[in-house]
Structure 1
Amino acid sequence: MEDESNATFITFSGYVEVYRYRFVYFVVMFTVYILIICSNLSIVGLIWIHQNLHEPMYIFIAALLMNSILYCANIYPKVLIDILSEKQIITYQACLVQCFLYYSLSGSELLVLAAMAYDRYLSICKPLQYPTIMRKTTICSVLSLAWIVPACQVAVPVVLSADTKLCNFVLKGIFCNNSAYKLHCMSSRSLSVYGVVVLVNVVFLPMVFILFTYTKIFLITYQKCGAVRRKAAQTCLPHLLVLMNFSCLVTYDVIIVKLESDFPTTVRLIMTLQMILYHPLFNPIIYGLKMKEISKHLKRLFFQHKLQ
């Protein structure tokens, strides 16, 4: 559908009886969004304030949580507006921007997790070399690449799709993902091949690197004393839990995009909500509970507020 200004509009059809349950949807989504912002920012603030948390591991955690905030800011405001609107629509250009941010930030998360795995490997297996390798310049370079590399790769199909003719104007979802490319009149083989290349570069290779790194950590620490094994488990377990959670996110996205026609709307909505509800909340909960130093500062902060 097109208006007088020739802007092409896409309709989201992924909601289930939004006209009947709009206020329930809104209250739940708005509450979760506030919890996500507060929980992530609380830990980022603690890392920023306390000098003993100004270590590479905690800086990477802060970057990961900031990435989650940006990820949610790309989705939640639009979803909340749509829930209260009579029509759930978005311009095609805005849809592509949302799609770009969604996948570039998802790719950045995995690359930051890969950087965290390498940081743990150096800290546990090569402690003498750790201070010379993990310097501030190294951390800044790694984080810059973690955000720039996925953005550059994801931008290519988005730019190429900007002027593509559409034959379908209904998107089976509540936000824009790769399903947007199914709106095209003709599917592009080159875009499909490039999408596989990006998937390998941004998802598969970093995941293999992470698994390889943690395998080496556990093999090396297994041969050492119990104290070293406990330290390795204490610092690596939260990262592995976050990686497993992110793997579920990627799996959900692939299933929804590839098999969307085989799922009822209700099932597809539940799977989509898994991606945007519990995933951004999972990271701060895990790091807040499992990372000893962060947990200690959180308890102190909570106890002080309670006394007041």
Structure 2
Amino acid sequence: MSFFQKLKQSISSKAEQVTSKFKEGLAKTRDVFVERVEDLFSRTKKIDEDFYEELEEILIGADVGVTTVMNLISDLRTEVKKQKIEDPSQLQPILTEKLVELLSGTQNGTLNMASSGLTVILFVGVNGVGKTTTIGKMAHMFKSQGKKVLLAAGDTFRAAAIEQLETWGQRVGVDVIKQQSGSDPAAVMFDAVQAAKNRGADVLLCDTAGRLQNKINLMEELGKIYRVIQREVPDAPHETLLVLDATTGQNALNQAKMFGDKAGLTGLVLTKLDGTAKGGIVVAIRQELEIPVKYVGLGEKMDDLQPFDSEQFVHALFGKWAAESKEE
């Protein structure tokens, strides 16, 4: 039995462990991307340049990423020559194998938590990506684990951001530390850390401004926030999570590059993955950035923020292929 057959059987055996949320959340990507690939492999009689071009177009359309797609097609060409493959259907499991390999080593959704005392998690990202909603859902997650949670309204640039965070605080049942709109975000963070310490909080979730019109000011602001937090809690922030909207595809990747190392990112949260057929952006991010995808948003409900699991992701997309291979 080949390595890939064992791998696919392993994926298939995990079917019972795969949450319905992943299957449902990736339905659009599966319907558009996987169905198009299956259609190409079933109706094409030979592996020629037209075949490679169409496959390339499908992969790029799913936002797997141009550079990644070029490398993938090159690898497929090599395998075709090496194994003397003529029937496109024989290439389908190899394509799946390559995609699995691209996601291998992806850190699953584990957050770095303080061994004792307060854990501080900082959220960054442009406006409109679902940052505040992600914070609210994560607050719900921690609270359901029995932890005491506080929220810090560090996006003082928009009054609406403070109000939105307060709304989530009320829904989840956690307090929000805030100041007036236009206040110094670092001052809000100082107040929030002090409040978290005084109240014996386990987790402090911090919102930040998301404007990129003036990147220099934004990065300076984040730097100041870092210094204030680290002065009060030396090991913090324990996570700095960049929130990205999966429906924007390559634009999400561009935003990640713009924040880059300057923001001290430790992980990514991909929101609205259920609303896009471009789930391939997960592969692109894994290949082009050295930052793990830690959580994904798979719906509108309070518990639809899920730890990212690469095996569940692969099975949700390619479970059908894996099952077919197992039957063979």
Q: TM-score range by the shorter chain?
A: under 0.3
Structure-2-length-normalised TM-score: 0.23
Structure-1-length-normalised TM-score: 0.25
Specify which structure has the higher proportion of helix: 1
Specify which structure has the higher proportion of strand: 2
